Structures are given as structure tokens and as C-alpha cells.
Amino acid sequence: MTALPIFDRMVALSDLTRSRMLLVLEGNELTVGELCQVLQLPQSTVSRHLKVLGDEGWVAARAEGTSRRYRMADRVESAAKQLWAIVREQVVATRTARQDAARVRSVLAERRTRSQEFFSSTAGGWDRVRTELFGARAPLEALLALLDETWVVGDLGCGTGQVSETIAPFVRRVIAVDESDAMLAAARQRLAACDTVEIRRGELAALPVERHELDVAILSLVLHYVADPPSALAEVHRVLRPGGRLLVVDMMPHDREEYRQTMGHVWQGFSAEQLGGWLKDAGFERVRHHPLPPDPDAKGPSLFATSARAGRAG
């Protein structure tokens, strides 16, 4: 029996990457480079999948200047539309698709900035000049000067000490804690010239820090390694003074199962509800959750910053 055209359509959709790509292109017209940023895939992979989708009539292309822009084809027969509706329903519910959608917004915002620059608007021109003169991070790092100079800050799970090094000039003292000798050796090297940073070896479950010793605790990209986050957060609450502040930076829920094997992750990100619940149980108040805008050049899952204050108990 002759194969039906719908079978080819099905084959094209029977791959998560292609289905993610189609979902992104359903509402947006993007270049290959932009698709690479959104899907966090190399150009060769994106081009290969695009070709399959194009050959099977799912995607159309349009030349614009020297580049080509891709979008979901308008004219798809009704059987194929029904097929896409079924696949779409499942793909759209994945965390990866939600993060793709967030990255599309960043990529489109970046494109708008580029077009502002192209049209030499005052704002676009100034952004470019500022970056050229002072670098892209200069204004953000200046915000660190808002930190209180009397604070003692705990960089808990400090790793190689990047966070400690960044904040040390702005506060009274930094206590950098980590359980790994190798990471602490790298931190000692990095922080050799920072005489306000004190390095201590220890675990989040039993911090080598006195009760109420800290004004601020930072857990940067560490909570997803911790087997029992509620106990660790209770321990962090113990070492913070009442009213002291906690900042947790970590990954949003994601589907990168392979990180368990490759990097030893225990948790595949955290939702605002899950972390907020644990924080309240540990005695924290005024919990605020902020998804961070994805960096178009970053290949990992999107991050969030959650802040909270230590309540009186503890």
C-alpha cells in the first residue's frame, strides 16, 4: 500500500526538538541564529531539524536582507492541523517549552534593541555607547553599593568564591562556607587578596557558623545539590539574625535529567510554591520570588532569585 502523506507529517513531528521548534515558530518568525538561542542547540542541529520540518511542509521561510526568517506554515491541511493540535497540547505542557517561551521573549527584546540601534534612536545609541565604554555589567555591579557596609554575609556553598569576591568590597565581612576541599582550595586562591573574606569548611546541614552570626545568607546555585532542603533552610535560619535576609539563586523546574549524572544534581530546579513553602516552614517571612530574565547566550535552564527575611523564632 502507498504511504499516506500524513505519515510523513507524523514523522516530522515525532521528535521533541522539532515539536518545540514548531511551537516556537507558531507565533514567531525567527532566524536560525535566534532559534539556536531559544532552543539552546548548535546551528547544525537546528538546521537539520528545520530542513525536516520544511521538507514536510510544516515550516515556511522568507528572505529578509541577507538572512532568512522561519515561521510555521500558514497553509496546512486539516488532518495535519488536527495532528499538530494533539502533539502541541503535550509539548506546550513541558517545562522546556515554557523556558523556550521565556527565551523567545528575551531574543525578541534583544532584537528590538538592535533595531533601536539601527535606527540610531537616542536610547539605542546610548545603550551601545555605554556598553562600549563601560561594559555590559557595569551598571548592574554598581547596584552592589546599595548593600549595607555593616553586614556580615554568608556565602553558603561558596564553590570557587565568585560571589564572595564580588560582594566582599561592599560589606564588613564575608563568611564563605563549602563542603568540598577542592572547591575551597580554588576559593582560597581566588580570595587570597580579600582580607574581609573568611573561609570555613562545612556543610549546609550543620553550618560552622554561630547562631545569629549573619545579616545575610546567600545560597547561589547550591540548593539543588542538597538532599534535604527543608533541614538546610532551617539551619540557615538559625545562623541568620532575626530580620536577616536570605537570597536563594537557583534553577526553575527543568527537564534536564542528564544533569543528575553529569553534575550530580539532586533536584531538577524548584518551583516558587515548593521553595516558598519550605521557607515559611523554616521560619522565613516576606518571601519574594523573581524569575530572572534568561541570558540569550546561556545554555542552562532559566534562573530565579528568591529573597526572604528570617522571622523572630529560631
Ligand X SMILES: C[S@@+](CC[C@H](N)C(=O)[O-])C[C@H]1O[C@@H](n2cnc3c(N)ncnc32)[C@H](O)[C@@H]1O
Question: Interface residues with ligand X (CB under 6 A)?
Answer: 157-159, 162-163, 178-180, 183, 203-204, 220-222, 225-226
Residue type, 295: D
Kindly state the smallest distance separating residue 151's Cβ from ligand X, in Å.
Answer: 18
Rounded distance between C-alpha atoms, residue 172 and residue 152, angstroms? 6
For 290, half-sphere exposure in the C-beta direction (CA atoms, 13 angstrom radius) is 11
Residue of minimal Cβ distance to ligand X: 159
Q: Which is nearer to ligand X, 38 or 158 (CB)?
A: 158
Contacts 24+ apart (CB under 8 A), 269-274: 269/95, 269/224, 269/301, 270/223, 270/224, 270/229, 270/304, 272/304, 272/306
Q: Which is nearer to ligand X, 226 or 252 (CB)?
A: 226
Kindly state the smallest distance separating residue 107's Cβ from ligand X, in Å.
Answer: 25
Kindly state the smallest distance separating residue 99's Cβ from ligand X, in Å.
Answer: 19
Length of the chain: 314
Kindly state the smallest distance separating residue 120's Cβ from ligand X, in Å.
Answer: 39
What are φ and ψ of residue 56, in 5° steps?
-95, 10
Rounded distance between C-alpha atoms, residue 76 and residue 120, angstroms? 40
Rounded distance between C-alpha atoms, residue 243 and residue 223, angstroms? 21
Q: Which is nearer to ligand X, 137 or 312 (CB)?
A: 137
Q: Which is nearer to ligand X, 25 or 222 (CB)?
A: 222
DSSP for 169-201 reads GGSSEEEEEES-HHHHHHHHHHTTT-TTEEEEE
Kindly state the smallest distance separating residue 45's Cβ from ligand X, in Å.
Answer: 26
Q: What is the DSSP letter of 146?
A: G
Kindly state the smallest distance separating residue 204's Cβ from ligand X, in Å.
Answer: 4
Q: Which is nearer to ligand X, 165 or 215 (CB)?
A: 165
Q: Which is nearer to ligand X, 154 or 283 (CB)?
A: 154
Angle (CA) 99-102-103 rounded to 5° is 90
Kindly state the smallest distance separating residue 282's Cβ from ligand X, in Å.
Answer: 15
Q: Which is nearer to ligand X, 178 or 215 (CB)?
A: 178
Q: Which is nearer to ligand X, 81 or 260 (CB)?
A: 260
Q: Which is nearer to ligand X, 204 or 308 (CB)?
A: 204
Kindly state the smallest distance separating residue 164's Cβ from ligand X, in Å.
Answer: 9
Under 8 Å between Cβ of 65 and 20: no
Beta strands in the chain (DSSP E): 59-64, 67-72, 152-156, 173-178, 197-201, 214-220, 240-251, 284-291, 303-310
Kindly state the smallest distance separating residue 304's Cβ from ligand X, in Å.
Answer: 14
Task: Give the closest residue to 286 by CA, choosing from 264, 312, 268, 311.
Answer: 311
What are φ and ψ of residue 179, in 5° steps?
-90, -15
